[in-house]
C-alpha cells in the first residue's frame, strides 16, 4: 500500500475477519477486470538467497500508460534480494497492466537491481499467458535472445551492481509459422518485408530491396537457449544460412533497416 499526502503524514488501515479468504482466485488490482480476458505473465529473479517477482498483464480495460492497473515497486530493505520490475512514465512497477494484446508484437523493457555478486536465474511463469504468443527475453549484454517457452530459467551474472534499465527486454509476438517447402513461398512485397523459410539443413532469408537500401541486414542464428551460432551481414535480396548438423529447433533473427523478424527453424 502507498498513501500520498496525508495531513499528518500517517495512515492506518483496519482489517476485520470478514476480509479473510481461503483462496487467491481474485483478479489482480481491479475486481472489474474479467479473468477470461486477463493475459498474465510473472517474471522472477532468483539468486542463492531469495526470489523477487514482477507481474505484467493485459486487459481491454487498461491503458499502456500509468493507471489504476499498475502498482509501484516497493524495494526490499535487504541487499540480498534480486529485484525485478518494469516502469511506466518514470514510475517503477511491480505490477504493470497494459491494454489488450492485439495480435502484433510487443517489446517491454525489464529493469533489475542486484546488490550481491551472485549468479541470478531469470524465469517466467506462463500458465496464464496465451500459447499463441512466442515469449523471448533479450539479453543485450550477452547478445542473446532466449525462448522462455523452452527454458526453465536463464542464468546470468550481474555486470554491475544497482539498477540496470538497459540490459533486458521482454519480447512478445504472435507465433510465426515458418514455411518448410519452396512451394509455399510467397513473393516478398516491394516494401518492408522479411520472410524466413526452413529447408531441412539450411534456412533461406528473403529481404525486400526497399529495406536493403538502408544498408546491410544482420542475420543472427542462435540455439533455443539463446547461444549464438553464427552472425551474418548480407546485402543480398536472398541469403541462405547453413543450420548446425544437430537435429533441433533454432532461432533466426533478421534485422534490416527499421524492421526485425525472429522465427524458429527446424534442422531435420
pLDDT digits (tens, 9 = 90+) for 214-268: 899 999 998 876 788 999 999 999 999 999 887 777 888 999 988 888 888 877 6
Round to whole Å and give the CA distance between 85 and 112: 6
- Same domain, yes or no, for 168 and 188? no
Cell numbers describing residue 196: 524466413
pLDDT number for residue 183: 40
- Same domain, yes or no, for 150 and 196? no
- Same domain, yes or no, for 67 and 125? yes
- Same domain, yes or no, for 234 and 123? no
Asked if residue 7 belongs to a domain, the reply is: no
- Same domain, yes or no, for 137 and 69? yes
Q: What is the full DSSP assignment across 90-140?
A: TEEEEEEEEPPP-SS-EEEEEEEEE-S---EEEEEE-TTS-TTEEEEEEET
Asked if residue 4 belongs to a domain, the reply is: no
Asked if residue 253 belongs to a domain, the reply is: yes
Asked if residue 10 belongs to a domain, the reply is: no
- Helix (DSSP H) and strand (DSSP E) numbers for the chain: 1, 18
**Of 106, 140, 174, which marks where a domain is finished?**
174
CATH of the domain at 203: 2.60.40.1270
- Same domain, yes or no, for 155 and 241? no
Asked if residue 8 belongs to a domain, the reply is: no
What domain count does the chain have?
2
- Same domain, yes or no, for 227 and 193? yes
**Of 174, 204, 228, which marks where a domain is finished?**
174
Segment of 15-24, 95-104, 143-152, 200-209 carrying the highest mean pLDDT: 200-209
Asked if residue 74 belongs to a domain, the reply is: yes
- Could you give the percent of the chain with pLDDT greater than 90? 40
Asked if residue 142 belongs to a domain, the reply is: yes
Q: What would the pLDDT profile of 42-94 be if each residue is shown by its tens digit?
A: 999 999 999 999 999 998 888 888 888 889 999 999 999 999 999 888 889 99
Round to whole Å and give the CA distance between 46 and 201: 38
Helix ranges (H only) for 170-242 are 209-212
**Of 124, 156, 174, which marks where a domain is finished?**
174
Q: What would the pLDDT profile of 158-195 be if each residue is shown by its tens digit?
A: 999 999 999 999 998 877 655 444 444 444 444 458 98
- Same domain, yes or no, for 132 and 24? yes
Asked if residue 147 belongs to a domain, the reply is: yes
pLDDT number for residue 170: 94
User: Is the pLDDT confidence value at 1 over 70?
Assistant: no
- Same domain, yes or no, for 54 and 118? yes
Q: Which residue has better confidence, 266 or 27?
A: 266
- Same domain, yes or no, for 22 and 98? yes
- Same domain, yes or no, for 32 and 155? yes
Average pLDDT over every residue of 6-26: 71
Cell numbers describing residue 23: 483462496
Domain housing 221? 182-267
Radius of gyration (C-alpha) of the chain in whole angstroms = 22
Q: Are strands 162-174 and 106-114 parallel, antiparallel or unpaired?
A: antiparallel
Round to whole Å and give the CA distance between 18 and 60: 31
pLDDT number for residue 262: 85
Q: What would the pLDDT profile of 100-151 be if each residue is shown by its tens digit?
A: 887 677 889 999 999 999 999 999 999 999 888 889 899 999 888 888 888 8
- Same domain, yes or no, for 35 and 103? yes
Amino acid at each position: 500500500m502507498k498513501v500520498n499526502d496525508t495531513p499528518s503524514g500517517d495512515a492506518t488501515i483496519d482489517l476485520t475477519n470478514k476480509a479473510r479468504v481461503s483462496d487467491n482466485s481474485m483478479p489482480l488490482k481491479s475486481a472489474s477486470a474479467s479473468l477470461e480476458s486477463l493475459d498474465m505473465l510473472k517474471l522472477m529473479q532468483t539468486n542463492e538467497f531469495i526470489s523477487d517477482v514482477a507481474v505484467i498483464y493485459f486487459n481491454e480495460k487498461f491503458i499502456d500508460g500509468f493507471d489504476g492497473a499498475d502498482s509501484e515497486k516497493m524495494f526490499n530493505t535487504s541487499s540480498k534480494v534480486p529485484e525485478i520490475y518494469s516502469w511506466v512514465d518514470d514510475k517503477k512497477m511491480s505490477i504493470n497492466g497494459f491494454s489488450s494484446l492485439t495480435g502484433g508484437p510487443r517489446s517491454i523493457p525489464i529493469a533489475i537491481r542486484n546488490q550481491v555478486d551472485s549468479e541470478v536465474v531469470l524465469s517466467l511463469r506462463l500458465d496464464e499467458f496465451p500459447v499463441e504468443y512466442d515469449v523471448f527475453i533479450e539479453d543485450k549484454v550477452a547478445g542473446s535472445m532466449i525462448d522462455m517457452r523452452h527454458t526453465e530459467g536463464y542464468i546470468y551474472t550481474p555486470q554491475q551492481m544497482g539498477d540496470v534499465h538497459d540490459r533486458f527486454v521482454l519480447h512478445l509476438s504472435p507465433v510465426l509459422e515458418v514455411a518448410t517447402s519452396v512451394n509455399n513461398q510467397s513473393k516478398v512485397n516491394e516494401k518492408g518485408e522479411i520472410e524466413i523459410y526452413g529447408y531441412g539443413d539450411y534456412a533461406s532469408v528473403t529481404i525486400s530491396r526497399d529495406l536493403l537500401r538502408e544498408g546491410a541486414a544482420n542475420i543472427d542464428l542462435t540455439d533455443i537457449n539463446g547461444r549464438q551460432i553464427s552472425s551474418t551481414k548480407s546485402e543480398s535480396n536472398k541469403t541462405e544460412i547453413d543450420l548446425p548438423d544437430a537435429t533441433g529447433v533454432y532461432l533466426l533473427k533478421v534485422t534490416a533497416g527499421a524492421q526485425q523478424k525472429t522465427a524458429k527453424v527446424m534442422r531435420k
